[in-house]
Chain A
Amino acid sequence: MVSRRTYLRGLLGAAVAIVLAPFVNLVAFFYRSDEASAQRQKIANLKELTPGTAVYFAYPKTGDPKIDNDPFRQYVLVMTNEGDLRVYSRVCVHLWCLPTYLPQKGALICPCHGTIYRENDGVAIEGPGAYQPYPTNALPMGVIEVDTNGDIWLVGIEGRIGYGREWQRIAPKDLVKRV
């Protein structure tokens, strides 16, 4: 038998809980919506690319130069020497410098401490980045779609920018879709 007092306390508790319920997802405040949901952005067209070329761009692009110039929004689209398409975050997983693509080496090379990332999967094979434990030894990758017109769209990011990617979990070629 529930006493009258216990019943009323339960009622009070329920009232407080219901009033506070709308704040359950308050934590969403801390995440930008463009980070949370993948944004479709056109990067380039297949016609513009030949094996061993790179296109540098900002993602998600906002039009605000300050935000678009932020290192954490810098990406590179690479057509590898084998002709595969890859998109990488440009933030080196070592100390956040911005690597550039060197087609003759088939790699992305960091200007600061010389980490070398393979063009095919973005895994560091030389330099300080290579000494970091899995999964902090690979660049985050973009998920891309290539449509029938040859337009290349970036639709999402796999990995944590400035940190790494679980590259043994998803093969790089699975991040490129033909639609």
Chain B
Amino acid sequence: MSGTAKNLREVFDSLWKWTVDRLERTTIVVYKFTVPKMYVSPFGYLGTLTAIVFAILGVSGAFLMFYYRPDVELAYLSVREIQEQIPFGFVMRNIHYHASNLMVLLAILHLYYQYFSGRYKIKNEVLWVTGVILGILTILEAYTGYNLIMNQRAMLAVNIGMGLTYSAPVLGPSLAPVFLGGGLFDLVVRFYALHVFILPLLMLLLAVVHFPRALVIDLPVISSVVGVIFIVGGLFPIELGVKFDPTQGLVEVPEWYLTAIYAFLRTGTERFTAGALLPLLFVILFLIIPFVDKSKKLSWRDRPFFTALGVASIVLIVVTTVWGFYVDFSKETPFEQLYIEPTLFYGSIGVMTLASFFVTYRYFGRQRHTVRPTPPRPIILSPRDSTLLMVVLLAFIVTTVAASFYTYTLSLPNHSMFWLGVAFMFLGLLLHVYRHHVNVEQRTRPAQVAEKAAA
């Protein structure tokens, strides 16, 4: 029996070697996949995580494509069918939706981490610029995606988008019909083409240029990220919304990454300036950063001006986003509820942004030579303890997956998703403890061998 197993192992080993030898003729060897032997901060590889979430979106999106109908009348009904009738449809749609939010969030975090650590310097300009463009494409991809449902919220976003395109000087009037076609029946097909093919293709092509050669694949963190998608999907399941009906008015707020632009539009300022030029200025600021900040200094502590600029930009995003969500329900009509007083709006963002800039600048201008805090002492578990912990974690996983199954049979798909998410979190922890176990064992083995030899 053990002989067969050994032979089988040899066959697999030689098959693996055979494949790897031949893969060396392909471009895959360009990438250096690193599976870290110990915990490293995920901030360093947020880009890889974004790409992994993009892959999750690709897979879940492919599932949705089997049932989604890009048709002005049927789109909403087909999404409802996916949500309510198709087995796993609810789960797939939730994964797809929450992964899209997570991808936008991770991309923003990735941008700011790279910004504050000065990674756009030292021959990284191409990486940086392609990254900013990828960020914009990510938002466009998310935007075209959530409009495919053709509910009231989607149509609000389409309306704003088309209004912005129309109001663009010179090109606008001829550009808008490219997306709108002969009406909404054309628009839904064009948005679908953009969402499932054109934009992802552009993103993949750009990613080829954007990816650094070293990619960190950290399984515990990836498992946790999947867990987060499931848990958030379970806690805040995506709703269908109300089917678009041109005779019904509703107060809707767009997705969180668009509410900042929405806030600008709600002040009644000229549409193109508010909704396109100001955000464009913001993007251009990020695009030109590597060509403005020419110093060799990388740390945010040594670059008080750019650190202050980064902090101010975050404050700007947060303040405008909060304004975007603000609805004054004390007013009577939806229009009055959504109206934002321009002086108050521009005044508040002006004051907050400038204040945060100067406070940060002064603070870091003075504290340029702060001592790095000493990292906390690592917890080291003995092999026996870690084995025990892994058994306990396995028990948790079994329990949570069982809970997930059970709640699914009770037709509570969101509970089911939540428990599966918790299981993924435990799996991440288990993978982490396993890695720790292997490390500790390797570290103590030479000592044990020496002890035995001495005895």
Contacts and interface: CB of A to CB of B under 8 A. Distances in A.
Contacts of A98: 246-247
B246 A136 contact: no
Contact of A67 (B166, B182, B334): B182
A70 B163 contact: no
Interface string B168-185: 000001001110111111
Interface string B55-73: 0000000000000000111
A46 B56 CA distance: 61
Contacts of B248: 97, 111-112
A133 interface: yes
A114 B162 CA distance: 21
B165 to A, nearest CB: 9
B183 A72 contact: yes
A163 B185 CA distance: 18
A111 B247 contact: yes
A95 B173 contact: no
Interface string B4-17: 00000000000000
Interface in B324-349: 333-335
Contacts of B183: 67, 70-73
B249 interface: yes
Given A34-B182, A112-B249, A96 B155 contact: yes
B402 to A, nearest CB: 47
A95 B249 contact: yes
Specify which of A31, A72, A95, A128 lies most central, judged by the most chain B CB atoms within 10 Å of its CB: A95
Given A113-B334, A128-B335, A95 B159 contact: yes
A160 B247 contact: no
B249 A111 contact: yes
Contact of B268 (A35, A96, A131): A131
A31 B173 CA distance: 12
Main secondary structure of the interface of B (DSSP, over half): helix
B156 interface: yes
A98 B228 CA distance: 42
Contacts of B155: 95-96
Interface residues of B, number: 31
Nearest to B175: A30
A35 B182 contact: yes
Nearest to A70: B183
Nearest to B178: A30
Contacts of A9: none
Contact of A66 (B73, B163, B167): B73
B7 to A, nearest CB: 60
Nearest to B74: A66
A32 interface: yes
A106 interface: no
A127 interface: yes
A172 interface: no
B121 interface: no
A18 to B, nearest CB: 26
A32 B186 contact: yes
Nearest to A133: B270
A138 B334 CA distance: 20
Sort A-B residue pairs by CB-CB distance and give the 7 closest, nearest first.
A112-B249, A72-B183, A70-B183, A128-B335, A163-B166, A30-B178, A98-B246
12 contacts: A67-B183, A71-B184, A91-B246, A96-B155, A97-B247, A98-B247, A111-B248, A113-B249, A113-B334, A113-B335, A131-B335, A136-B167
Interface of B: 71-73, 155-156, 159, 162-163, 166-167, 173, 176-178, 180-186, 246-249, 268, 270-271, 333-335
Given A67-B182, A133-B270, A162-B163, 18 more contacts: A30-B178, A67-B183, A71-B184, A71-B246, A72-B180, A72-B184, A73-B182, A95-B155, A95-B249, A97-B248, A112-B246, A112-B247, A112-B249, A113-B334, A132-B271, A163-B166, A163-B167, A163-B176
